[in-house]
């Protein structure tokens, strides 16, 4: 069975400061890991994905995530927050091999203060 | 634009009624997934179809059913609706050339309100 735990339900940062959204995963085998973002009243957009090719994954809009197997973590970071980053972020796990359901974390709401 | 379309965008109905939500996957994708997003349960997987066959089932109520047609579009049927069924219902697809990593592409969702 797979699961993800997002350690913060809400994170608030000032514009221009770094962003850190924390995620721990549990999986009995090598997982695929994703971060999705959901802006208010919008659908889900893929930010980045870990597919075992590299432990540091670069995504869209300046976001990165690092896969740390020893810590079972996949934290999302961005060096400098922008107002447009305010949204709900979901850490997601699935089995490698394709065509399997995604398991979502409960989400972290990111607020960016001007 | 993900390439996944869902209709309708909004649906308002009464308790006890039945509704059908429709999803067209990305061109070339064989898998369609249905997810429910509600305030208390978060984002939950409901059911998956792969090339017309049911592939996996999640927390889907017996009042709900789905199917995938030969042209690969899918429909989610919700019957005997209750107030608690009010939620955002997402469809996602995968199974194209990048399917091995299971990246799923999400539609814009159907917001269901049961009054």
Each residue's pLDDT, cut to its tens digit, for chain B (115 residues) gives 889 999 999 999 999 999 999 999 999 898 999 999 998 889 999 999 989 999 889 989 999 999 999 999 999 999 999 999 999 999 999 875 555 557 889 999 999 999 9
Sort out which chain A residues have CB atoms less than 8 A from B104's CB and list them: 102
* Nearest CA among A84, A64, A83, A82 for reference residue A74: A64
Sort out which chain A residues have CB atoms less than 8 A from B96's CB and list them: none
The answer to whether A96 contacts chain B (CB < 8 Å) is yes
- The tally of CA atoms less than 13 A away on the side-chain side of residue B65 is 6
The rounded mean pLDDT for chain A is 91
pLDDT at B97: 52
A-B contacts at Cβ under 8 angstroms: 66
Among chain B residues, CA nearest to A53: B101
* Total residue length of chain A: 114
pLDDT at position A58 over 80: yes
Q: How far is CA A45 from CA A101, B57, B92, in A?
A: 16, 23, 11
Q: Read off the pLDDT of each residue in A64-81 and give the average, rounded to a whole number.
A: 95
pLDDT at B100: 56
> Taking a C-beta distance cutoff of 8 angstroms, is the pair B46, B60 a contact?
yes
The answer to whether A103 contacts chain B (CB < 8 Å) is yes
DSSP-assigned beta bridge partners for residue B50: B31, B53
Picking from A43, A97, A107, the nearest residue to B106 by CB comes out as: A43
pLDDT at A96: 63
Give the position of tokens 């219902």.
B89
């Amino acid at each position: 069975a797979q699961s993800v735990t997002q350690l913060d339900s809400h994170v608030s940062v000032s514009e221009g400061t770094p962003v850190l959204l924390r995620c721990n995963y549990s999986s009995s085998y090598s997982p695929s890991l994703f971060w999705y973002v959901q802006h208010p009243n919008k659908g889900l957009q893929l930010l980045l994905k870990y597919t075992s090719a590299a432990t540091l994954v670069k995504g869209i809009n300046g976001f990165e995530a690092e896969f740390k197997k020893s810590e079972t973590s996949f934290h999302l970071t961005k060096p400098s927050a922008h107002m447009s980053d305010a949204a709900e972020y979901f850490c997601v796990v699935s089995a490698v091999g394709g065509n399997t359901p995604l398991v979502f974390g409960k989400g972290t709401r990111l607020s960016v203060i001007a | 634009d993900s390439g996944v379309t869902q209709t309708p965008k909004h649906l308002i109905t009464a308790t006890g009624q039945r509704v059908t939500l429709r999803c067209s996957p990305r061109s070339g994708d064989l898998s369609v997934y249905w997810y429910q997003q509600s305030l208390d349960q978060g984002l939950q997987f409901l059911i998956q179809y792969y090339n017309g066959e049911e592939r996996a089932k999640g927390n889907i109520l017996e009042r709900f059913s789905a199917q995938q047609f030969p042209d690969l579009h899918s429909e989610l049927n919700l019957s005997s609706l209750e107030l608690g069924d009010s939620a955002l219902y997402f469809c996602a697809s995968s199974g194209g050339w990048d399917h091995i990593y299971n990246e799923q592409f999400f539609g814009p969702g159907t917001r269901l309100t049961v009054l």
